[in-house]
Amino acid sequence: MQRKKLIDVLIVVMTIAMTTTIVLAAYRTGYMTGLKNSPVTIRTLTMQQPPPEAKSITGQVVSVIGTTITLQAFGTSSTSPIANRQVSTTRATVFEQRTSKDPKVLIGELDVFSAKLQAARVKGENLPSSAYPTPYIVKKISLSDIHPGDTVVVTAAENILTVSQFTAIQVAIEGTPAGAIATSSLPKSSR
């Protein structure tokens, strides 16, 4: 029964993603056609504009030396050409690991949330953001738990779009750390 619910949720998510893609493609096609048929063509509107600022970056840890993490940024492009970033950490930096929840647990939480949401709608109330289930478990860690090969999301207080060095306010490992071996992936004889 849980597998059917998971499949149903995946079908809904995929349908929403496909519909959104089609709507955006149709909008872009209509927009571009309107620009082509316009007596005044503004070429700067069709160029991709870089974001004005970025305070988070995702990448793979290259090294950890002292309190500095060297990060190979994902998605390096002409809008943010800096590949390697030197990320300083302080005592105030928050370190955490985000691990995906078991699908059965998440489905159970979604069922409970759905019931609460329906009850709140009947009463004309809104649920607080803390009521929404998250797809991962957050565990507090330290800098010593971060190793080369880990995929991390680093957040800073300032705009880091065009800088190669900055101080992190939060560093989060996404998934299983490179320095750890998931016992569920080992053969039973090795456990």
Query: Which percentage of the chain shows pLDDT scores above 90?
Result: 27
Same domain, 130 and 151: yes
How many structural domains are present in the chain? 2
Do 65 and 41 share a structural domain? no
171 and 122 in a single domain? The answer is yes
Residue 191 in any domain: the answer is: no
Q: Which residue has the tokens 């955006």?
A: 24
- The predicted structure's pLDDT at residue 191: 41
Q: Find the domain containing 24 and state its range.
A: 2-46
CB atoms closer than 10 angstroms to residue 145: 18
Are residues 93 and 37 both part of a single domain?
no
Q: Are strands 84-88 and 94-100 parallel, antiparallel or unpaired?
A: unpaired
Same domain, 40 and 133: no
Q: In this structure, are 74 and 109 located in the same domain? A: yes
For the stretch 115-163, pLDDT in tens is: 888 888 899 888 887 778 888 888 999 999 999 999 999 999 988 878 8
Residues in the chain: 191
**What are 73-87's pLDDT values in tens digits?**
886 554 555 678 999
Is 9 among the domain residues?
A: yes
Per the domain annotation, does 95 fall within a domain?
Answer: yes
**Are 149 and 60 in the same domain?**
yes
Considering the domain architecture, whether residues 123 and 38 belong to the same structural domain is answered as no
pLDDT of 27 reads 64
> Could you tell me if 28 and 65 lie in one domain?
no
Cα separation, 96 vs 102, in Å, equals: 19
pLDDT interval class at 187 (50, 70, 90):
very low
The strand pair at 165-174 and 94-100 is best described as: parallel
Compute the distance between CA of residue 28 and CA of residue 30 in angstroms, rounded to an integer: 5
